[in-house]
Chain A
Amino acid sequence: MHHDGALSAVAAAVLEGGHAAQVELLDRLRAGDRTAFAELVDAWSPMLLRVARLHVSTHASAEEVVQETWLAVIRQLDRFEGRSSLRTWVFRILENQARTRGVREARTVPWSFGSGADGHEHAGATVDRARFRGPEDRWPGGWTPEGRPTAWEPPPEDAAMAAEVRRELRAALDELPERQRTVVELRDVYGLSSDETCERLGLSPGNQRILLHRGRARLRARLEHVYRGTTGEGARRG
């Protein structure tokens, strides 16, 4: 009967409004399918907390906003018309909850994502120009022998590297300009789509890509630095 049940609740909840699998998920939730609901709560609470922190000043407040959001979702579930994806609807509820509380806390947003480019965050190359050949070279703009990237061994996902990679990425993320860090976190750490990220942050798609590009480039460079520093030691450490 429920052949679409093969689709997880989380997968169904990001589908466009009106999709058959979304309708089925809503039926299950309205019938009290606690497992499906818990799946959403567990999958989304980290990203909801992160988005809530854009609006309120403390982690504790963000936790309350997220809890209130889930309670509002539960209360309003029967009224959701399914015109958007379930996830988009949950985000809107979150933002209403967060905005209310943000106003109460008189939090002033330290930057405006809508304000467009701000100079240094957007300017310049993301890779040191010295790593490329000059205009007079036979291969202008090509990597120099010393500048070319070399494969990472063992790869970052290897158990021998994973802990150090995570530590370095966390540190490097915290050093990014706030707009870059926020975009990289929403996209790569929390798995929001580019559309969702633009909507949450009030960014144009182009600006979002620039911030993502510059942020990721710095993080890649940080990992490259780690690998260059441990050349020849990786195998022994593993």
Chain B
Amino acid sequence: MADLPAPRSADDDVLEIACREFVELVTEHMEGTLPKALESAIAAHLELCDPCVVYLEQTRRTAAALGTLPSPTLPAAARDRVLEMFTSLHGGTDPAAPR
């Protein structure tokens, strides 16, 4: 039971969140946009809840894996044209090169 958050008590005025709430806050937690009180509640929750730690980790890994998707870029001919233009306008040793 160590991996479950403590039962909620109605009298408790310390902010507590449940797993079902954490999964809807995970993006704002990762973005760092949550108020301090909620961040504290999340930190306390994650201390006790391994499945939510796994959920957070999976969301991070999903975002990271998206960064490895191949993306189209400029065709080589267009890239060459751009670099040629760069060198012809800014290259060379003439500091007063035309723009």
Is the pair B99, A49 in contact by a Cβ cutoff of 8 Å? no
- Supposing A67-B82, A189-B67 touch, asked if A49 and B21 sit within 8 A by C-beta, the answer is no
Inside 8 A of B26's CB, which chain A residues have their CB?
213
Inside 8 A of B51's CB, which chain A residues have their CB?
143, 148-149
Is the pair B7, A125 in contact by a Cβ cutoff of 8 Å? no
Is the pair B65, A169 in contact by a Cβ cutoff of 8 Å? yes
Is the pair B68, A223 in contact by a Cβ cutoff of 8 Å? no
| Chain B binding surface, main DSSP class | helix
Partner of B74, one of A37, A45, A125: A45
Inside 8 A of A169's CB, which chain B residues have their CB?
62, 65-66, 69
Residue A12, interface by CB 8 Å:
no
Residue A237, interface by CB 8 Å:
no
Is the pair A66, B62 in contact by a Cβ cutoff of 8 Å? no
Is the pair B28, A209 in contact by a Cβ cutoff of 8 Å? yes
Inter-chain pairs besides A46-B72, A67-B78, A67-B81, 15 sampled, C-beta below 8 Å = A29-B90, A31-B90, A34-B91, A63-B74, A71-B85, A74-B82, A127-B20, A139-B5, A143-B52, A148-B54, A165-B65, A187-B63, A189-B66, A216-B62, A223-B62
- The 15 sampled A-B contact pairs (Cβ below 8 Å) are A32-B90, A32-B91, A34-B83, A37-B83, A45-B74, A49-B71, A49-B73, A49-B74, A77-B90, A125-B20, A157-B61, A187-B63, A213-B24, A213-B28, A216-B62
Interface residues of A (CB under 8 A from B): 29-32, 34, 37-38, 41-42, 45-47, 49-50, 59, 63, 66-67, 70-71, 74-79, 125-127, 129, 132, 138-143, 148-152, 155-157, 162, 165-166, 169-170, 173, 184-185, 187-191, 194, 205, 209, 212-213, 216-217, 219-220, 223-224
